[in-house]
Amino acid sequence: MDEITQSIRELYEEFPYPAGAPAIRVASDARLLMSYGSNPRTQEGPIKVLDAGCGRGVGLIANAITQPDVEFYGIDINRIAIAEIKDKVNTLGLDNVTVREVNLMTLEGLDIPEGGFDVIFSSGVLHHLSDPVQGLEKLRSVLAPHGVISLMVYATFGRQPLYRLIEATKLLIPDTASTRERIPHTRQLADFFNDGPFKGTPWEFVAQSNDTEFVDLCLNPNETSYSVESMWNLLTEADMHFLRWAVPSQWSIDQLPEGELRTRAQALSEYDQYRVIEQATWNRSLELIVGHAHNAPRPPLTEAELESTAFAVNPEVTFDINTRSLRTGKRIESISYTLGAVPDPVYSKSEAHANALMLLWDQTQAFTGDSFINFLEQDGVSNQDAKSILKEFTAEGLLYRPHTCDV
């Protein structure tokens, strides 16, 4: 193990990150993630997912519980965290999780499934590696041809105020002192930043975070960050490409004021639009889905394939149905849905939309466009309106298109 990896291991073994109960995160459903690439799975058998740098298993365990027919493999260099996950897996009786102490820089000791992993997660890890290009290349080497990687790395511009704190800390508090000894002074500085560079930014929470979070934020011995430009370069170096953002609305130019500015942004390339948004917003990380260079993004849905396509409700969607109990029965007051990390709920726009949402809210299996249209027609919705709703829900991300082999 190289010196940098060793120092990262020491840090995370002393301050195992992150604490907390299992949590379902965005961009973590295997079928949804694979649906973003054009290449379908060719192997038979269960879908296989690698969580590279799984930490204490907060995401890994939630995924294993909510996707019981998927096999999960968690790897990390943090031996304390690995032992903790093994205990949790035993306590919960999960039979679809395997965890190992494996260094992502070499992947020595990893059991690679025949044909490679279908999906790889690596959240908050790549930017701590001694050589992120090598790390990403390693991951690509164990990714199936149709496979996708869900990556989260720190954003250079969104974290600027924090990097100013880290810079000042390096000058004021020498790293000859232990990490634990540096915490109180660094906290004091973070507190001071609340009246300076942090003021009015999403970084005002730093001084109040617990020790584990604080160390992860401010005192990491090896950390890099990515801009859109350097991420695109990293992907090219690793022979991979961008499929989509985990939360596309966070990178959408629709956030810009309507009018001339928005029109100008629309004229830019997709890449330059993202570069504008990274300057104009506080996106603190880049959360993106990438694939092999030959696995193109899934083409948009066409009118001709609407009826025969398989659809499924996006597992990141939460429905909110408000009802009142009246003497005449239950009355529905409002129906809305919220997509993953997008804060604003989407309310039904018409009675036909409301009927469609009622149809979808308890739908756990995939269905064809044809059956959805037929159901709505039985409720008195016209064929044209049913098709428009299907297209609208797909464009908004409420519905996704699993590959037929994954239905």
Ligand X SMILES: C[S@@+](CC[C@H](N)C(=O)[O-])C[C@H]1O[C@@H](n2cnc3c(N)ncnc32)[C@H](O)[C@@H]1O
Binding interface with ligand X (CB under 6 A): 5, 8, 12, 17-18, 53-55, 58-59, 75-78, 81, 103-105, 123-125, 128-129, 216
For the stretch 231-249, what's the b/e string if a residue is b when 16 or more beta carbons lie within 10 angstroms of its beta carbon? bbebbeebebbbbbbbbeb
DSSP symbol at 346: E
Question: Residue 338: enclosing H or E segment and its boundaries?
Answer: strand 329-339
Contact of 390 with 306, CB cutoff 8 Å = yes
Closest CA to 148 of 403, 407, 404: 403
Strand 285-292 to 310-313 pairing: unpaired
- Please state the closest distance from residue 59 (CB atom) to ligand X, in A: 6
- Please state the closest distance from residue 1 (CB atom) to ligand X, in A: 8
Q: Which is nearer to ligand X, 121 or 157 (CB)?
A: 121
Tokens at residue 197, please? 């560079």
Q: Which is nearer to ligand X, 75 or 277 (CB)?
A: 75
Q: Which is nearer to ligand X, 58 or 352 (CB)?
A: 58
- Please state the closest distance from residue 203 (CB atom) to ligand X, in A: 17
- Please state the closest distance from residue 62 (CB atom) to ligand X, in A: 10
Cis preceding linkage at 300, omega within 30: no
Q: Which is nearer to ligand X, 75 or 286 (CB)?
A: 75
- Please state the closest distance from residue 286 (CB atom) to ligand X, in A: 14
> Chain centroid to CA 373: how far?
31
Q: Which is nearer to ligand X, 11 or 317 (CB)?
A: 11
The Cα–Cα gap between 11 and 93 comes to: 30
The Cα–Cα gap between 172 and 165 comes to: 10
Tokens at residue 275, please? 């570069």
The helix/strand/coil state of 400 is: strand
- Please state the closest distance from residue 104 (CB atom) to ligand X, in A: 3
Q: Which is nearer to ligand X, 54 or 313 (CB)?
A: 54
Q: Which is nearer to ligand X, 173 or 217 (CB)?
A: 217
Closest CA to 390 of 316, 317, 301, 321: 301
Q: Which is nearer to ligand X, 121 or 251 (CB)?
A: 121
The Cα–Cα gap between 297 and 29 comes to: 17
- Please state the closest distance from residue 303 (CB atom) to ligand X, in A: 40
- Please state the closest distance from residue 220 (CB atom) to ligand X, in A: 8
Q: Provide the β-strand partners of residue 370.
A: none
Residue of closest CB approach to ligand X:
55
